Each structure stands twice: as structure tokens, then as C-alpha cells.
Amino acid sequence: MSARVLCIGDVMLDVITKIAVMPSQINYGSDTPSKISTHGGGAAGNVASWLTRTDARSTIVGHVGDDAAGAALMSEFDTLGVHHNNLMVDKGSSGVVVVLVDPTGERTMFPDNGANSGLHIGDLPALENFDVVYLSGYSPLDPLSRPGVLEMVAAIKSAGLPLYFDPASVGAMMEVPLEEVKSWIRLMDVILLNEEEAIYLTGETDSEKALESLLEYCETVVIKRGSQGAIGKARGSILISVPAISTEVVDTTGAGDSFAAGFIAQYAMTKNMQHGLEAGAAVAARCVAIVGARPRVGTVI
């Protein structure tokens, strides 16, 4: 049996700009050589895409514009096997994010939400067709999508489906009062976030202490630690830690999203934290070994 996962949130076109120098050495106001490529992106779109490389089945709820980028993004979903309906909207351009990748593989992002703004309750499909829901934090953090997304959350809770939530970047969270973000976390069953986000939300300086603090808001917490692996714990259980899988790091774009996909596919069906974290690490290792945030056609975990 495999999980049927509904992914709600952002769908973007990633413009990956790889530079051979550190950001401090960029020739501002002049030219800096780079290698540029375009790929599908957006946290929810990435999670949905990587879920297709697991035993799970995924459906994406989001918006793309009626433009060339939107058509390409929909075509990629079709090729990967991600289900979607009413993804393209008549007005607005598709969301785009410029991703600057330095020689260490670290990335800095410059997003333009575009058509991603304005999600509403009418975008939500029939919930009886799903076992679990993933929500990208970029959607409630967008003021134009927030009311509709919170309506969706209420409907999902009423249907009794477990909600997995990634609160997104600290930069995005800083635009919203901290207590409001915490109020959303209380509505979730599982929260997946990185160390920087966990420390920002709790004020702790240690990831394990941050995890314990977040358990006061949410039943299950997973903290992604990059090259240090991940830790996770459900209330009333023991802390589980797994290492990252050693691999050549080419590009960390989408690493956290791919981890989330692997974790959700496993944990949603077994509730086994050890196996869930290991599955997340396995998918993330495949993601960081390629350029871009999504699997290539034919990528197998």
C-alpha cells in the first residue's frame, strides 16, 4: 500500500545560476561568468515531484501562469507522473526564482511569487482521495494566499487527514508576526524544518532543544540538518538521529524538499521515525547530486 499525498503550495520556474567564485567575489556592476539553466521548482512542486520517485502517489494544488513557463511546468509534472487539475490560471505570470549557487553548492534565492499568490478554497480537490497532506509554508506566508490556505487547513482538519508542514525560509517568516506563524504550527500534525528555521521559531541555539520546544506546538517534529543528517521525535517517544548519506554535492537546491518527500512517503504509512528519516536522507542524497530541485526523468531512488 502506498500513500496518496496532496501537496499544496508554490510551483516555480527555477533559474539556476552557478558561479565559480564565492558571492563576495562577484563583480557587482559588471560581468561575472556563470552557467545558467532552468528547472521546475517551488517547495510544493518539488515535494510532489520527488514523491513520484518513491512508492507514493502525488497531486499538486497550486497556480502557474498562462505563459510558456507555465506550460513547461505542467508538462514536467505530466512527465514525472504528478497529478494536477486547474493548475493554470488566466491572469498573472508564472512564479520564478533565481537561484545563485556558489562553489560549495550553497544556494541563495530571489523569488517572485507570480501566479502562486491567490490560492483559494476552490482549488482544494475532494479529500477522500488522499491519505495525507503536505503544505508549503510559502503559501500561508503570502498575504494574498493566506485566507484561502487557512480555509483549506480547516477543511483538511475536519476531514481528519494528517497535515505535514514546512514553514519555509526564515526570510519569509520574518515578514509575519512570529506568534502568527506559531499559531499555524499548532494546527499541524508534523512539522519539517531546517536548523535555522527551528532556532528562529524557538529562540534556542541548539537544534535538539529547539525540537523539544517545538513539540509543545506540534505532535511530531523533524529537523533537517543538511550534511549532518536529520533528527526527529514524536511526543512520548525517543529522539531519533540519522546521518546524511555521503555523496558528491553538486547543488543543494531542493534538498530539504526531497528529504520531505522521502520522509512523508515512508512515515505516513508506517509511523516509524527511524525508517522515515532514513528514507528522507536517501532521496535527499539523490537530489544534491544533480543540478536543480527536481528529479530527472528516469531518476530512481
Tens digit of each residue's pLDDT (9 = 90 or more) over 12-68 = 998 989 999 999 999 999 999 999 988 899 999 999 999 999 999 999 999 999 999
Q: Write the pLDDT tens digit of every residue in 151-172.
A: 999 999 999 999 999 998 898 8
What's the order of all strands across the beta sheet hosting 34-41?
Answer: 34-41, 12-19, 95-101, 107-112
DSSP secondary structure code for residue 35 in this structure:
E
pLDDT at 184: 97
What's the order of all strands across the beta sheet hosting 230-234?
Answer: 83-84, 57-61, 4-8, 132-136, 163-166, 190-194, 220-224, 230-234, 240-242
Query: How far apart are alpha carbons 232 and 250 in whole angstroms?
Result: 26
Percentage above 90 pLDDT, the chain:
79
Cell (9 digits) for 267: 512515515
pTM for this prediction: 0.91
pLDDT at 119: 94
Query: What mean pLDDT is predicted for residues 267-278?
Result: 97
Between residues 183 and 254, which one has the greater pLDDT?
A: 183
Tell me the pLDDT band of 294, cut-offs 50, 70 and 90.
confident
DSSP secondary structure code for residue 232 in this structure:
E
Cell (9 digits) for 79: 512527465
The amino acid at 300:
V
- pLDDT at 301 exceeding the cut of 80: no
Percentage above 70 pLDDT, the chain:
98
Helix (H, G, I), strand (E, B) or coil at 268: helix
**Closest C-alpha among 294, 6, 3 to residue 149:** 6
How far are the Cα atoms of 118, 188, 217, 285, 299 from residue 147, in angstroms, in the given order?
Answer: 9, 17, 21, 36, 37
